[in-house]
Structure 1
């Protein structure tokens, strides 16, 4: 059973970051490649004085499979995964869970720029916020589109 948490994790950082992501979506539109979004996002993060690491190998944080790289690690608190594809899938969600659990971080964002309207997905580390390790299966169905 999931515990209910009344506070929003890293509210200020994620609010500012979401604003930057919306600005990026308005600027580049929805038909660029993932790399182009990441390049422009890096510029915007520098402009807004965010501490970040790009293509950061998670094994540097904790015990992780070597080669697991996240698109961005923001302020050493939020894992940001950039997508440019038709749908976010269950595999994308499970990949984020793996990143979160290996790094022992609490929050990840999956952002798909291909959508007409940007809808960042906030993903909580189920290992930290559930009583059992299979809790993610309750939420993964919404990513099977």
Structure 2
């Protein structure tokens, strides 16, 4: 049994996350584990649009600090639903590293997203990773 802090009972973008996860599992079931990054993003984008979600691909985000050059922060997908918008980063590699998590955290901060989902389609079982922006400003 896990303990839940009463201040942490809210699931951020519950319905939107459910639809995104469904599209991600559909993508892996269709393509399998050994495709390229671009193929996964193509299929995932198609599945998200089919589920009625607004989806933008590789949209450059604002620089995260003053001297940063433009177009450094480009997430794979930005998805909008009734609850809000979230960023998706797709990977097709054997294991995720800290660098992958840090990359998504940069996108969350640059675009002021509340939630990001990290997907690695190369793993035996797809396990979507929900990353929350602790510095989110409403």
* Same fold, judged at TM 0.5 (above): yes
TM range (shorter): 0.7 to 0.9
Unpaired runs of 5+ in structure 1? 130-145
Match of 2:52 in 1: 49
2:78 alignment partner, one of 52, 68, 73: 73
Aligned positions, number: 124
Q: Cα deviation per residue 1:58-115 (whole Å; 9 max; x = unaligned)?
A: 12xxx53421100000006110000000111101111111111111111000000000
Cα distance between partner residues in 2 of 1:46 and 1:16: 11
RCO higher in structure (CA 8 A, sep ≥6): 1
Provide Cα deviations, 1:42-73, integer angstroms capped at 9, x if missing partner: 221221121010011112xxx53421100000
Write the distance in 1 (CA, Å) between the matches of 2:136 and 2:127: 24
User: CA contact under 8 A between 2:19 and 2:51: conserved in structure 1?
Assistant: no
TM-score (norm 2): 0.84
Q: Is the 8 A contact 2:26 2:47 kept in 1?
A: no
Match of 2:34 in 1: 31
Tell me which of 92, 112, 118 is aligned to 2:126.
118
Q: List structure 1 runs of 4+ shifted beyond 4 angstroms.
A: none
Which string of whole-angstrom CA distances, capped at 9 and with x for unpartnered residues, describes residues 97-139 of structure 1?
111111111100000000010000000112249xxxxxxxxxx
> Quick one: which of 16, 22, 25 aligns to 1:22?
25
Q: CA RMSD in A?
A: 1.8
Task: State the Cα distance separating 1:4 from its structure 2 match.
Answer: 4.4
SS in 2 for 1:79: strand
Q: Which runs of 5+ in 2 are unaligned?
A: 1-5
Q: How does 1:90-129 map to 2 (within 5 A)?
A: 90-128=98-136
